[in-house]
Amino acid sequence: DIQMTQSPSSLSASVGDRVTITCRASQSISNYLNWYQQKPGKVPKFLIYAASSLQSGVPSRFSGSGSGTDFSLTISSLQPEDFATYYCQQTYTTPNTFGQGTKLEIK
Amino acid sequence: QVQLQQSGPGLVKPSQTLSLTCVISGDSVSSSSATWNWLRQSPSRGLEWLGRTYYRSKWYNDYAVSVKSRVTINPDTSKNHFSLQLSSVTPEDTAVYYCARAGAYSSTWPFDYWGQGTLVTVSS
């Protein structure tokens, strides 16, 4: 199975900050990398596909980059509604594996 | 707008079979541009993909190795739903279970629509 490792596991930041979350795959996955946001008690929400393409309706402050094994999710100016847990996922091959999550908390 | 509605018991006894159903509206289980997936989430395992079913001129299934000997995912075209059966459950199978659609976005197949989640507790 392809292992997905996110860093950091948790992150404290303030409204207006720029934050970056990284995701590393245990082998090359080209651009088969997606990002999700999950708030407590809620269903994961699909944000970004193909490493850098924004899903319709997702604010432009979210952006993704990377290819191969190293990827990142950047939020350019944190808003109160962005505090959540973020997951990366590879769909290069089955099983489609997820990172362990990065919890973004208010400082 | 695609919607997925899950149903099934929230409590299952050890050694019994967990059964969940996911009813699809706004799409078809036979769609050639989607796959239909089951996942679960627990503090110990995180988000774990269990398997999928999809139609490409015929039906296909893929399962995670960790549950392959115990899991079955079946489509039902007459009711436009798909189901999960996980046999011989133990307390380690306690988790929130989700159904999800994977759509063809630049061929990367993200999970774009999710069911509401079902907390399944395995306990006597």
What average pLDDT does chain B have? 97
Euclidean distance between CA atoms B51 and B70, whole angstroms: 11
Task: State pLDDT tens for residues A69-99.
Answer: 999 999 999 999 999 999 999 999 999 999 9
Kindly list the residues from chain A whose CB atom is less than 8 angstroms away from the CB atom of residue B64: 94-95
Say if residue B105's pLDDT is above 90.
Answer: no
Residue B76: the pLDDT is 97
Task: Measure the CA–CA gap between A54 and A43, rounded to whole angstroms.
Answer: 19
Phi and psi angles of residue B91, each rounded to the nearest 5 degrees, phi first: -55, -25
Closest C-alpha among B73, B67, B81, B21 to residue B52: B73
Give residue B116's pLDDT. Answer: 98
Which residue in the block uniquely carries the two structure tokens 């769609």?
B31
Query: Of B49, B102, B116, which is closest to A43 when you measure between CB atoms?
Result: B116
Share of chain B above pLDDT 90, in %: 96
pLDDT bin (cut points 50, 70, 90) of residue B10 is very high
Sequence-separated (6 or more) residues with CB below 8 Å from residue A81: none
As a whole-number percent, the residues of chain A with pLDDT over 90 amount to 98
Residues 34-63 of B with CB under 8 A from A: 37, 46-49, 52, 62
A107 has a pLDDT exceeding 90: no
- Give the pLDDT confidence score for residue B113 in this predicted structure: 97
Q: How far A91 CA sits from the closest chain B CA (Å)?
A: 6
b/e code A89-106 from CB counts within 10 Å (16+ = b): bbbbebbbbbbbbbebee
Tell me: pLDDT of B106 over 90: no
CB atoms B108 and A46 under 8 Å: no
Span B28-68, pLDDT tens digits: 999 999 999 999 999 999 999 999 999 999 999 999 999 99
Residue A77's pLDDT is what? 95
> What is the radius of gyration, based on Cα positions, of chain B?
14
Q: How far apart are CA B61 and CA A88, in angstroms?
A: 24
**At CA B22, angle to CA B39 and CA A39, rounded to 5?**
50
Where does the pLDDT of residue B107 fall: very low under 50, low under 70, confident under 90, or very high at 90 and above? confident
pLDDT tens digits for A15-27? Answer: 999 999 999 999 9
